[in-house]
Structure 1
Amino acid sequence: MGTLQSLFNAVTVIFIAATMFAAGLGATLPSLRAVLSNVPLLVLVLLANLVVVPLLGWGIAALFALPEAAFIALLLTASSPGGPFGAKLGMVQNGDVVAGAAVQVLLAAIGSITFGPTVNVILEAADVGGEVSLDVATLVLTVAVLQLVPFAVGLVVRHYAPSAAQSWHPVAAAVSNVTFLAVLAGMLVGNWRDVVALIGSRSLLAGFLFAVIAFALGTALATGPWERRTTMGGIAAVRNAGPALAAIGLAFGNEPAILGALAAVLLSGLAGAVPIAAVLSHHRRQKPAPGRVRNR
């Protein structure tokens, strides 16, 4: 089991690094500056991911009257923005990959700082769980190493060696796609007992609805073209598991019930978000190019 867990962790690291590297290879400095200087977009994205989505998680957990373990797991998930799967969903849906990658890294960095206080406020208000204390410096360093650095390296290659970036991008994208499927399979296989144990409960439905509604809210609370707005929707729907796992270990002693509920919430959330991205991708592939009229 230890070997399988180590392999899964390694594949996850490769997935995150390859996804962010591919996003960097496809970006340009002017396009990145345009995103990061778009104050209305950034304000709305921060509002959606740091305030609205955590409150949504609390509301769904209360509405479904989830057991304490699932309640805590959903709150931890909702309070942790900037998951690397969000950038991947931007690629899957053929959305605004540059904006998605830039915003996802920004949210992951800010979320490393806001996660603990946000969770503590909601847990106290909901009168469930205990106080969460995390090593913020470690979380920020993790975000920098796994997400910011690969994205920056890809961006530098694109700027100084565009021909190399053009040839490397398909390879990086292919690695990202393969490891994405491997991570999904690993999550399901590694946690199948926990997921099966929750079948018939409200926890899976709560995680599914949370992701779908978060996708809609993230899309609504964004500006710009439709492709950019739906990309922000995917960013909002997919949360960062790292801080949540750290919190379970530090504040809840790696309680199996909470770990199992977290896996179920994450998987059911992906089951809600990935099909939306796939439908958007299909629609965009079918859309005729400007100036062309589809044959009747």
Structure 2
Amino acid sequence: METLHLLFNAITVIFIAATMFAAGLGTTVAALRSVFTNIPLLVLALLANLVVVPLLSWGIGMLFGLPAAAFIALVLAASSPGGPFGAKLAMVQGGDVVAGAAMQVLLATIGSLTFAPTANGILSASGVGQGVSLDIAALVGTVALLQLLPFAVGLLLRHCATPTARAWHPPATTVSNVTFLIVLAGMLLGNWHDVLALLGSLALLAGFVLAAAAFAAGTLLTTGPPVRRTTMGGIAAVRNAGPALAAIGIAFSGQPAILGALAAVLLSGLAAALPIAAVLNSRRNRPPTTRRAR
């Protein structure tokens, strides 16, 4: 069992690194500059991910009357932006991968700093849970190693060796796609008992509703064409599990109930976000004649 756990962790690392590397290979410095110099886009994305989505989790948790463990898991997930699945959703929907990948890395980095005070504030105000204390340097280092570094290497290759970057982009995308499916299957198989245990509660529905609401908020609170807007929606819909898992291990002594609820929230969130991305992709790839006929 321990071997399978290590193997799953290794595949997850490969998925994150391959996804960010592929995103970097498909990015130009000029395109990246256009994202980071777009102040309205940055401000709105930060507002949506760092303020609106955490507040949505608080409201949804209270509305559904979630038990303490599920409420804590929902708030921890919502307080942690920049999940690596965000860049993958941009690819799945045929969205603005450059803006999506850049925003994901930025949010993951900033989220490493804001996670603890955001989660603390909501849990304290709601009277649920306890103080969340984390090693901020370790979180930032993890983001830099798994997300920022592969993206930067891919971007450097695209800038300095464009033919090589174009040749490597398809296989890197294939690795990302294959490992993505393996990670999804591993999450389902590895946490099926936790998910089944929560079928009688509203935790799964809360995670689904939070992701759908976050997708809507991310899409509305942004600028640019529809392709960029829905990409920002996908970025907001999926959260970064790393800080949440660390918080459960450190601040909540690895309580199984909270871990199970977190797995359920993350999986139900993907169950909401993936179909939206797939529908968007099918509409964007529909032949022009078909669109006119409709």
Give the TM-score normalised by structure 2: 0.98
Q: How far does residue 201 in structure 1 lie from its aligned partner after superposition?
A: 1.4
Q: How far does residue 287 in structure 1 lie from its aligned partner after superposition?
A: 4.9
Query: Is the counterpart of residue 270 in structure 1 residue 270 in structure 2?
Result: yes
Aligned pairs for 1:12-23 (under 5 A) are 12-23=12-23
2:88 matched residue in structure 1: 88
Q: How far does residue 288 in structure 1 lie from its aligned partner after superposition?
A: 2.5
Matches of 1:241 and 1:92, distance apart in 2: 20
1:204 matched residue in structure 2: 204
Q: How far does residue 295 in structure 1 lie from its aligned partner after superposition?
A: 7.6
Give the TM-score normalised by structure 1: 0.97
Aligned pairs for 1:106-125 (under 5 A) are 106-125=106-125
Q: Sort the Cα spacing of 1:293 and 1:222 in 2 relative to 1 into closer, same or farther, 3 A.
A: closer
Cα deviation 1:15-61 (Å, max 9, x = unaligned): 00000000000000000000000000000000000000000011100
Matches of 2:266 and 2:3, distance apart in 1: 23
Matches of 2:109 and 2:231, distance apart in 1: 19
What are structure 2's unaligned runs of at least 5 residues? none
Letter in 2 for 1:117: P
Q: Sort the Cα spacing of 1:98 and 1:136 in 2 relative to 1 into closer, same or farther, 3 A.
A: same
Q: How far does residue 200 in structure 1 lie from its aligned partner after superposition?
A: 2.6
Query: Is the counterpart of residue 281 in structure 1 residue 281 in structure 2?
Result: yes
Matches of 2:292 and 2:174, distance apart in 1: 31
Q: Sort the Cα spacing of 1:64 and 1:295 in 2 relative to 1 into closer, same or farther, 3 A.
A: closer
Matches of 1:294 and 1:191, distance apart in 2: 44
**Alpha-carbon RMSD:** 1.3
Q: Sort the Cα spacing of 1:295 and 1:78 in 2 relative to 1 into closer, same or farther, 3 A.
A: closer
Aligned pairs for 1:36-55 (under 5 A) are 36-55=36-55
Aligned pairs for 1:176-195 (under 5 A) are 176-195=176-195
Cα deviation 1:210-256 (Å, max 9, x = unaligned): 00010001000010010000000000000000000000000000000
Aligned pairs for 1:35-74 (under 5 A) are 35-74=35-74
Letter in 2 for 1:13: V
Runs of 4+ in 1 over 2 A off after TM superposition: 292-296
Matches of 1:265 and 1:253, distance apart in 2: 19
Letter in 1 for 2:176: S
Aligned residue for 2:130, secondary structure, equals: coil
Aligned residue for 2:288, secondary structure, equals: coil
Aligned residue for 2:76, secondary structure, equals: helix
Number of equivalenced pairs: 294
Cα deviation 1:239-283 (Å, max 9, x = unaligned): 000000000000000000000000000000000000000000000
What are structure 1's unaligned runs of at least 5 residues? none
Query: Is the counterpart of residue 151 in structure 1 residue 151 in structure 2?
Result: yes
Query: Is the counterpart of residue 131 in structure 1 residue 149 in structure 2?
Result: no
Letter in 2 for 1:121: G
